[in-house]
Each structure stands twice: as structure tokens, then as C-alpha cells.
Structure 1
Amino acid sequence: MNNKVIGIVLIIIGVALAIWGYDVYEAAGSQVSRALSGDTPIEAWAGMIGGAVCIIVGITRVK
């Protein structure tokens, strides 16, 4: 039971991180930065990749 609760919490945190990372990626300042230099903010990558990892770990805990 405890592993399932941890898994559900990890899935929720992972979804929130992925959404936050995507919001950072699509922000106006990030778009201007990408247009001028081609660089993506590290916060965007950290949010999206961290969210994906949390979701995967959460799914394995729920099973």
C-alpha cells in the first residue's frame, strides 16, 4: 500500500514538473533567446526530463 501511495505522488509531481518545464520552454523570453542564440534554458530541460523520470518511477511503484 505504501509503495502505491509513493508511486501516485511521484506521478503527480512528474506531471507538474513536465508542465512547468514546457511552460518555461514556451515562455516569451525563452522564445527570444532560442531565436537569437539557439539555446534552450536549462530549467526547461530539467523540468521536462525530471518530470518524465518521476512519472516512469511512479508507474513502476504503482504496479
Structure 2
Amino acid sequence: MSLPNILGILLLLGGAALLYFGLQASQSAGEQIFESFAGRFTDSTTWYLIGGFAAAVTGLILLVTR
């Protein structure tokens, strides 16, 4: 297995973990209250979601390309 494949797997798993924690955080009571007043998620939850999506997509690209 080559280095890009290993890095792709790690990025995909790390991105999936970040997305999971971001989605869990977005469903918390405090986050729901903040969203109802501010109309958006908190900065930390937003960064979890953005970072998780970016890492997962990058990992998937590394796995698919040769």
C-alpha cells in the first residue's frame, strides 16, 4: 500500500470522525438555543463540520486517484 493510499484512509476516517462530532454538537440543547437566537451554529461546530467535510473529501480523492 502506497503512502497516498494510507494518507487517504487516515484523512477519510479523521474527516468522518470530525463530521460525526460536529453533527452531535449541532444537536445539543445549547447549540439549538444559540441557533434559534443567532440563526447559525457556533464557530466551533461550524469548524468541525467544515474541517470534517474537507478532510473526508480530500481523503476520498487520494484514495480514488492513482
> What TM-score, normalized by structure 2, do the two folds share?
0.85
Alignment partner of 1:5 is 2:6: yes
Question: 1 CA distance for matches of 2:54 and 2:40?
Answer: 23
Determine the structure 2 residue equivalent to 1:35: 36
Question: 2 CA distance for matches of 1:10 and 1:37?
Answer: 32
Q: CA RMSD in A?
A: 1.1
Aligned positions of 1:1-63 closer than 5 A: 1-63=2-64
Question: 1 CA distance for matches of 2:40 and 2:55?
Answer: 25
Where structure 2 has 5 or more consecutive residues not aligned to the other structure, the ranges are none
Q: How much identity, in percent, do the aligned residues show?
A: 24
Question: 1 CA distance for matches of 2:33 and 2:57?
Answer: 32
1:2-39 deviations in Å (ceiling 9; x for gaps): 11000000000000001111111111111111223324
Count of matched residue positions in the alignment of Structure 1 and Structure 2: 63
Question: 2 CA distance for matches of 1:18 and 1:7?
Answer: 16
Give 2:32's aligned amino acid.
Q
Q: CA deviation at 1:50?
A: 0.6
